[in-house]
């Protein structure tokens, strides 16, 4: 053996103690003990429930995963006592772009967050702040580990996790998949996430689970009724998507991120486009019924306008009276906002306002131009509407659009009534890059019959034939709300052949600057109405 | 047999009953038509079954959440 032969080094001992190879081997053995094959007994319950393990989820979701903090231990313990302290964290890639991942491990203390596990999560949040990469949370299990949390020594300082998650908002996409029980902390994280996915029949979430709810309030309710997907996705809109399987959830995360840049200052994702940008949409000639009381499905309009197979509808089952969807136009990510006549006549109620306001803010954060398809008969009215504070939720829709600096295009398909017309970026209200109308457009302050019944009741009731006189008044107004009249007053830039809409939109998008100046007085911040 | 209640998603006026009590329906069949804010809204059956009850009639004014039909399935 010679001293300059590197291959001989592992065999030589220049000092007492283990060699590099032996030390490396010891570390590798500890790391191997943390992997799934070494933990079959601990993972048995997860598998019995048909659930993926945390490591399987990470492996399905990202490529090239580098784990940070695999070797953590509790102060007194060894790594095997609480492997990874119940949470797997690290960085990987999706479609070649970096992402940070946090995956709770339900097999360790029910996925609850211990002291050092909490530090690992905080580290990833800070890493995303620093590096500008999306944060993905795969949640499955408890919130604070009760054993650790019931101790003021730790709990009083709290830590900056919530504040740092707020700092992340609008900087990088934050996506959460609830892949088991997500009560308490899981729901707190979800509340600060841009996009939350649940698996129907598997996922639950809420501020507290049934046992704490019963102990604290006496209410008896099942986990599924309290916080399953039917409640939290479809009825409450707390989560944005309900899928059938964990694989679908992981695939949806990848798909969602594909529309967005890595961070607010990064170049937006842009794909190639094989769908001609000037393709004529002949189906539109017969799409909108002549009788304005009859509905049609506005998703068909979005489907034909957008690049083929490029649509991802956000929250399709919540506030179905409005449609919010990512799509691509000539390869560029955009956000469609549309009234849906099929549901509640396309009226804007509080749920629709919340859904649209959140979507507009998201698109503005990440540079997605907004395309508004307008067919709105107004906002919901009556006691049921007032109970939901619609006066402020409608203002929220205006508030988010008013903050936005991304391009916005408005197209009136049919009705553009009242405040709804403004909230949907109609006319000059929010300086649309281009304001368009179809020949079926009717733009005015309120429903025609409604206005006649409010302002001209005495007039027609005094007439010889009130019914005829009322109809006369209605017809008179109808003559004054044609799209030609809207164009005559320059409220719209053009009235277009519906079949040309895709070309118009793509041309407008190509011309529009990525961001515009949005002159605001020198305030510190705006105050959301709610 | 289990029942599903069909409730009004918003207040309005019943303008047409399409399927009467006793009728067999498929999921998605139109049960009745409501009108509010000058828009017609079709109320459809959430399941395949039989209309067990329909406690509303044409020209009735209904409130949000009011029971419109009970489907036995």
Count CB neighbours of A200 within 10 A: 16
SS (H, E, C) A65-105: EEEECCCCCCCCCCCCCCHHHHEEEEEEEECCEEEEEEEEC
Bridge partners, residue B30, by sequence: B44
How far is it, in rounded angstroms, from Cα A191 to Cα A166?
Answer: 10
Chain B residues whose CB is inside 8 A of the A377 CB are: 37-39
The pLDDT assigned to A125 comes to 98
- Per-residue model confidence (pLDDT) at position B43: 92
What is the distance in angstroms between the Cα of B11 and the nearest Cα belonging to chain A? 8
Mutate to test the interface with B, among A319, A345, A376 (most CBs of B within 10 A): A345
For residue A223, which of A277, A176, A175, A181 has the smallest C-alpha distance?
A: A181
Q: Answer whether B40 sits within 8 Å of A345, measured CB to CB.
A: yes
User: CA-CA distance, A407 to A405, in Å (whole number)?
Assistant: 7
Question: What is the reported pLDDT for A10?
Answer: 53
> Does the complex come out with an ipTM higher than 0.90?
no
Residue B22: pLDDT over 90: yes
Asked if A295 and B63 come within 8 Å (Cβ–Cβ), the reply is no
Alpha carbon distance A121, A469 (integer Å): 70
CA distance B50 to chain A (A): 24
B39 interaction partners in chain A (CB closer than 8 Å): 293, 295, 341, 344-347, 377
pLDDT for position A339: 98
Residues of A in contact with B43 (CB under 8 A): none
Low-confidence residues of chain A: pLDDT under 50: 1-2
Chain B nearest CA to A380, separation (Å): 9
Q: How far A227 CA lies from chain B's nearest CA (Å)? A: 21
Read off the tokens for A19. 């060699």
The answer for B 22-51 residues in CB contact with A (under 8 A) is 35-42
Report pLDDT digits (tens) over A264-323.
999 887 888 999 999 999 999 999 887 888 889 999 999 999 999 999 999 999 999 999
Q: What pTM was computed for the model? A: 0.93
Question: At residue A256, what are phi and psi to the nearest 5 degrees?
Answer: -60, -50
pLDDT in tens, A161-178: 999 999 999 999 999 999
């Amino acid at each position: 053996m010679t001293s300059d032969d590197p291959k001989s080094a592992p065999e030589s001992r220049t000092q007492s103690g283990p060699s590099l190879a032996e030390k490396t081997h010891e570390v590798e053995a500890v790391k191997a003990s943390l992997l799934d094959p070494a933990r079959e007994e601990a993972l048995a319950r997860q598998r019995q429930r048909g659930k993926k393990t945390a490591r399987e989820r990470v492996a399905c979701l990202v490529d090239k995963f580098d784990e940070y903090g695999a070797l953590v231990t509790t102060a007194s313990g060894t790594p095997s006592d609480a492997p990874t302290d119940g949470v797997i964290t690290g960085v990987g890639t999706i479609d070649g772009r970096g992402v940070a991942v946090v995956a709770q491990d339900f097999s360790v203390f029910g996925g609850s967050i211990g002291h050092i596990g909490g530090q690992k999560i905080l580290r990833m949040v800070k890493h995303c702040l620093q590096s500008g990469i999306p944060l993905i949370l795969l949640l499955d299990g408890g919130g604070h580990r009760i054993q650790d949390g019931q101790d003021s020594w730790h709990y009083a300082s709290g830590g900056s996790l919530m504040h740092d998650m707020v700092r992340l908002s609008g900087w990088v996409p934050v996506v959460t998949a609830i892949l088991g029980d997500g009560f308490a902390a899981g729901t707190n994280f979800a509340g600060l996430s841009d996009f939350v996915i649940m698996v129907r029949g598997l996922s639950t979430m809420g501020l507290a689970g049934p046992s704490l709810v019963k102990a604290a309030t006496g209410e008896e309710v099942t986990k599924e009724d309290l916080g399953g997907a039917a409640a939290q996705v479809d009825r409450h809109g707390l989560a944005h998507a309900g899928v059938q399987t964990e694989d679908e959830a992981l695939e949806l995360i990848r798909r969602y991120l594909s529309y967005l840049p890595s961070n607010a200052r990064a170049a937006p994702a842009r794909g190639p486009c094989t769908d001609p940008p000037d393709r004529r949409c002949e189906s539109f000639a017969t799409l909108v019924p002549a009788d304005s009381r009859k509905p049609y499905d506005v998703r068909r309009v979005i489907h034909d306008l957008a690049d083929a197979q490029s649509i991802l509808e956000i929250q399709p089952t919540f506030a179905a009276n409005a449609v919010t969807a990512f799509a691509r136009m000539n390869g560029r990510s955009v956000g469609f906002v549309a009234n849906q006549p099929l549901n509640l006549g396309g009226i804007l109620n509080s749920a629709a306002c919340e859904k649209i306001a959140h979507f507009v803010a998201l698109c503005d954060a990440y540079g997605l131009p907004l395309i508004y398809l307008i067919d709105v008969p107004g906002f919901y009215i009556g006691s049921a509407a007032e109970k939901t504070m619609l006066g402020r939720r409608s203002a929220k829709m205006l508030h988010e659009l008013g903050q936005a600096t991304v391009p916005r295009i408005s197209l009136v398909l049919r009705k553009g009534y009242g405040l709804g017309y403004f909230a949907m970026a109609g006319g000059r209200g929010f300086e649309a890059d281009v304001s368009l109308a179809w020949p079926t457009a009717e733009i005015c302050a309120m429903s025609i019959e409604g206005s006649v019944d409010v302002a001209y009741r005495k007039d027609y009731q005094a007439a010889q034939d009130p019914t005829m006189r009322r109809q006369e008044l209605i017809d008179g107004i109808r003559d004054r709300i044609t799209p030609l009249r809207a164009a005559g007053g320059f409220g719209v830039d053009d009235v277009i052949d519906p079949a040309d809409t895709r070309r118009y939109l793509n041309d407008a998008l190509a011309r529009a600057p990525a961001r515009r100046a949005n002159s605001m007085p020198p305030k510190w911040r705006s105050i959301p109405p709610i | 047999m289990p029942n599903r209640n069909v409730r009004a998603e918003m207040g309005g006026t019943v303008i047409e009953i399409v399927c009467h009590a006793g009728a067999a329906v498929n999921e998605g069949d139109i049960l009745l038509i409501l009108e509010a804010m000058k828009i017609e809204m079709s109320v459809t059956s959430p399941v395949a079954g039989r209309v067990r009850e329909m406690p509303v009639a044409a020209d009735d004014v209904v409130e949000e959440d009011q029971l419109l039909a009970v489907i036995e399935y």
